[in-house]
Amino acid sequence: MNYAGFDLNLIVAFDALMAERHVTRAAQRVGLTQPALSAALNRLRHITGDELFIRGPKGLMPTPRAVDLAPAFRTVLATVDGALALQKEFEPGRSRQTFALALAEHPAHLLLAPLEKAARELAPGIDLRVRELRNRRDAIRMLDEGQADLAIGVSPGSESRILSRHLWNEDFVGIARKGTDISPFALSAHLFAAERHVLFSPEAEDYGLVDTALAEHGLKRRLGVTSAYMYLVPGLVAQSDMLATVLQGVVRGSGLGDQLAVFKPPLELPTISYHLLWHRRTDAHPAHRWFRDIVVGLCQGF
């Protein structure tokens, strides 16, 4: 038999008729007009080749064929109701879901440990997969291809399919070895530029935001070391006479704050904003919404 174009509403109408045994009451039960429900019954009669319901002294009476169909149709409706309920509810304690995150080095260092702890406490069956995030292009690709459910560490763009939420801002600070007299570096761009510096440069370039700011003053600094790893910089500075300019959260996240002297650079440097990005296709999913809320809550303290 060809069921092409079969409408689930026909089963809903049938179930209402089985319960009410009256066309008008059945129509009211499912929010249809009486003609619409009668039309649904006629379509079912045509599909099944059976009258299904006949008029009796106390209303509609189901035929043996209708009685046979009733349990199977109820199972179909229960299955659909259950599937729709899964879309509306999420039980963290029972979930066995795996979430994939694309993280830049700094957000990964700050977020991953508390996020794993929160997930373990609230949803012990959930697992995490962390992907390396180098640039915004990688983030968009991984979200598009489903390799990542969330991305943190890049700015939002204009793609309508990519949604975003601001998480936190960070300013740059200068760092030197503990005990260093930092007052000259905080007050004079000339003295600041005259020192040897460590530059974090994932692209292996000998030029960064600080160099751009110094160039506006006609100054250039000497780079003693460039590093592709952000969190190596505080340790290197703590054991040398070099300076570095890093995000303030890197000092905190490195655990080396007691070995460093921190100062405000004598330059105008931008504030860096971190955003949470996700794909529109996962926006309404209850599990993903729950996970995004966990991430946002953890980042409020950054």
Query: In this structure, are residues 221 and 190 in contact, taking their beta carbons and an 8 Å threshold?
Result: no
Q: Which residue among 42, 62, 88 closes a domain?
A: 88
Residues 153 and 176 in one domain: no
Would you write out the chain's pLDDT as a tens digit for each of its 302 residues?
545 456 788 888 888 888 888 888 888 888 888 888 899 889 889 888 899 999 888 788 989 998 998 888 888 887 777 666 555 677 888 888 899 999 999 999 999 999 999 999 999 999 999 999 988 889 999 999 889 999 998 777 788 899 999 999 999 999 999 999 999 998 999 999 999 999 998 877 889 999 999 999 999 999 999 999 999 999 999 999 999 999 999 999 999 999 999 999 999 999 999 999 999 988 988 889 999 999 999 998 77
Domain residue limits at 60 = 8-88
| φ/ψ (deg, to 5) at 7 | -105, 125
Asked whether residue 258 is assigned to any structural domain, the reply reads yes
CATH number of the domain that 35 lies in? 1.10.10.10
Residues 110 and 233 in one domain: no
Asked whether residue 3 is assigned to any structural domain, the reply reads no
Residues 225 and 263 in one domain: yes
Asked whether residue 242 is assigned to any structural domain, the reply reads yes
Q: Which pLDDT belongs to residue 12?
A: 87
Interatomic CA distance for residues 31 and 46, integer angstroms: 23
Residues 228 and 289 in one domain: no
Residues 115 and 147 in one domain: yes
Query: In this structure, are residues 244 and 225 in contact, taking their beta carbons and an 8 Å threshold?
Result: no
Domain count, the chain: 3
Q: Which pLDDT belongs to residue 86?
A: 54
Q: Which pLDDT belongs to residue 198?
A: 97
Asked whether residue 220 is assigned to any structural domain, the reply reads yes
Asked whether residue 40 is assigned to any structural domain, the reply reads yes
Interatomic CA distance for residues 134 and 2, integer angstroms: 53
DSSP structural state of residue 281 = G
Residues 100 and 114 in one domain: yes
Residues 213 and 253 in one domain: yes
Asked whether residue 46 is assigned to any structural domain, the reply reads yes
The encoded tokens of residue 178 equal 């503990």
Q: Which residue among 61, 88, 115 closes a domain?
A: 88
Residues 20 and 36 in one domain: yes
Residues 101 and 183 in one domain: no
Dihedral angle sign, alpha carbons of residues 96, 100, 106, 107: negative
Residues 146 and 264 in one domain: no
Residue located via tokens 């000497």: 222
Q: E-assigned strands of the chain?
A: 53-56, 59-62, 98-103, 127-132, 150-154, 162-170, 172-177, 196-200, 222-227, 243-247, 260-263, 272-279
CATH number of the domain that 148 lies in? 3.40.190.10
Asked whether residue 49 is assigned to any structural domain, the reply reads yes
Q: Which residue among 57, 88, 119 closes a domain?
A: 88
Asked whether residue 17 is assigned to any structural domain, the reply reads yes
